[in-house]
Amino acid sequence: MTNEPSIHVDHDEAGANIDHENAYSGLLVNDAHWAFGTDFEDPLAGVDTTVPSGVDPKDLAAYCLMLGDDALVFSQRISEWCSSAPDLEEDIALANIALDLLGQSRLLLARSAAADPSLVPQLPEGSPVPDEDRLAFFREDLQFRNVRLAEVPNGDFAEAVAKILIYSTWRLAIFERLQSSRDSVLSAIAVKGVKEMSYHRDFAGRWVLTLARGTEESKTRLLTALEGLWPLWDELFETHPVEASVAAAGIGVDPAEVADEAGVILDQVFAAAGIERPERDALAGVRGKRGRDGLHTEALSKMLADMQVVARQYPEGQW
What fold does the segment set 54-278+287-313 form as a domain?
Ferritin (1.20.1260)
Check residue 32 and give its pLDDT: 44
How many CB atoms are closer than 10 A to CB 170? 26
Check residue 318 and give its pLDDT: 66
Percent residues over pLDDT 70 in the chain: 87
Q: Is 34 helix (H, G, I), strand (E, B) or coil?
A: strand
Helical spans, DSSP H, in 149-297: 157-178, 184-212, 216-229, 241-248, 259-273
Residue 133 · residue 308 · CB < 8 Å: no
Neighbour-count burial of 217, counting CB atoms closer than 10 A to its CB (0-12 exposed, 13-18 middle, 19+ buried): exposed
Task: Give the range among 15-19, 132-136, 246-250 with minimum mean pLDDT.
Answer: 15-19
Q: Which sequence spans correspond to the domains of the chain? A: 54-278+287-313
Tell me the C-alpha distance between 138 and 39, whole Å: 19
How many CB atoms are closer than 10 A to CB 138? 17
| pLDDT tens digits along 128-157 | 889 999 999 999 999 999 999 999 999 999
Tell me the C-alpha distance between 256 and 99, whole Å: 28
Provide the residue type at 104 as one letter. Q
Check residue 201 and give its pLDDT: 97
Angle between helices 259-273 and 157-178 (to 10 degrees): 140
Tell me the C-alpha distance between 30 and 38, whole Å: 10
Whether 29 shows a pLDDT value over 50: the answer reads no
Angle between helices 216-229 and 184-212 (to 10 degrees): 140
Neighbour-count burial of 204, counting CB atoms closer than 10 A to its CB (0-12 exposed, 13-18 middle, 19+ buried): buried
Nearest to 70 by CA among 167, 202, 200: 167
| pLDDT tens digits along 206-243 | 999 999 999 999 999 999 999 999 999 999 999 999 99
Confidence band for 44, pLDDT divided at 50, 70 and 90: confident
Q: Is 49 helix (H, G, I), strand (E, B) or coil?
A: coil
pTM of the model: 0.86
| pLDDT tens digits along 275-314 | 999 999 999 888 889 999 999 999 999 999 999 999 888 8
Give phi and psi for 209, each to the nearest 5: -65, -40
Tell me the C-alpha distance between 212 and 270, whole Å: 9
Whether 159 shows a pLDDT value over 60: the answer reads yes
Tell me the C-alpha distance between 266 and 272, whole Å: 10
Whether 34 shows a pLDDT value over 70: the answer reads no
